[in-house]
Structures are given as structure tokens and as C-alpha cells.
């Protein structure tokens, strides 16, 4: 069953450049991960200290494998080391409406 993962990152203005650099590193490696379908990276207009990532995966297991991978954990550790930056994950399953 396909899933979507929303990652909401809040940051102080002075950390935005470093955070975006880390997000770009993720963008470079995630497309080659098994089960990855697509991703979007959104900068909020009305909440200036927020970037949201929306990624689509074929299954929760595929996402979990990426989440547990050393490469993702390494990049996330760099994000976590940025003062004032927080990451919040929400996982949704795709439902049929027809």
C-alpha cells in the first residue's frame, strides 16, 4: 500500500542555508532508494521558518528501510545538530475515494 511521508522542519532564520544544504544532500540520494516514488520540497509562505518535505513510497516497509539507512541517519544527524532546528514526521496511507 502506497504511503506519503510529511516531514515538517522548523528553523531559525540563521540556520536556513545550512538546513537547505542538508535537504539537497537528501535529494541527491533518496531517488535511488528502493520503493521511492517521488518527493516535493515546500517552503511555507505564511510561516517563514518552515520547510515541508512530502515523499511518496510504495510501502511503509520501503520508507522504514530508508528511515533506518545509515546515509539518511547521517544527514539527519547533521540536521539535528543545527541549533533550533526541529523535524516532525507524519506518515499517511493513501486511501481510495472512488
pTM (2 decimals)?
0.91
The model's pLDDT over 10-40, given as tens digits with 9 standing for 90+, comes to 999 999 999 999 999 999 999 999 999 999 9
pLDDT in tens, 45-89: 999 999 999 999 999 999 999 999 999 999 999 999 999 999 999
Domain ranges across the chain: 3-93
- What span, in angstroms and rounded, lies between the C-alpha atoms of 19 and 8? 12
Helix (H), strand (E) at residue 17: helix 16-29
Q: What are phi and psi of 35, to 5 degrees?
A: 90, -10
Angle at 20 between CA 43 and CA 68, to 5 degrees: 100
Find out if CATH 3.30.70.100 is the number for domain 3-93.
yes
For the CA atoms of the chain, what is the radius of gyration? Answer: 14
Which residues lie closer than 8 Å to 43 by C-beta, 6 or more apart?
50, 51
Amino acid at each position: 500500500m502506497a504511503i506519503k511521508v510529511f516531514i515538517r522542519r522548523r528553523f531559525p532564520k540563521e540556520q536556513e542555508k545550512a538546513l537547505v544544504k542538508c535537504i539537497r544532500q537528501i535529494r541527491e540520494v533518496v531517488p535511488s532508494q528502493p520503493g521511492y516514488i517521488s518527493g516535493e520540497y515546500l517552503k511555507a509562505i505564511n510561516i517563514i521558518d518552515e520547510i515541508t518535505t512530502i515523499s511518496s513510497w510504495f510501502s511503509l516497509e520501503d520508507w522504514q528501510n530508508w528511515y533506518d539507512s545509515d546515509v539518511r541517519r547521517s544527514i539527519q544527524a547533521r540536521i539535528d545538530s543545527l541549533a533550533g532546528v526541529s523535524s516532525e514526521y507524519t506518515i499517511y496511507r493513501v486511501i481510495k475515494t472512488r
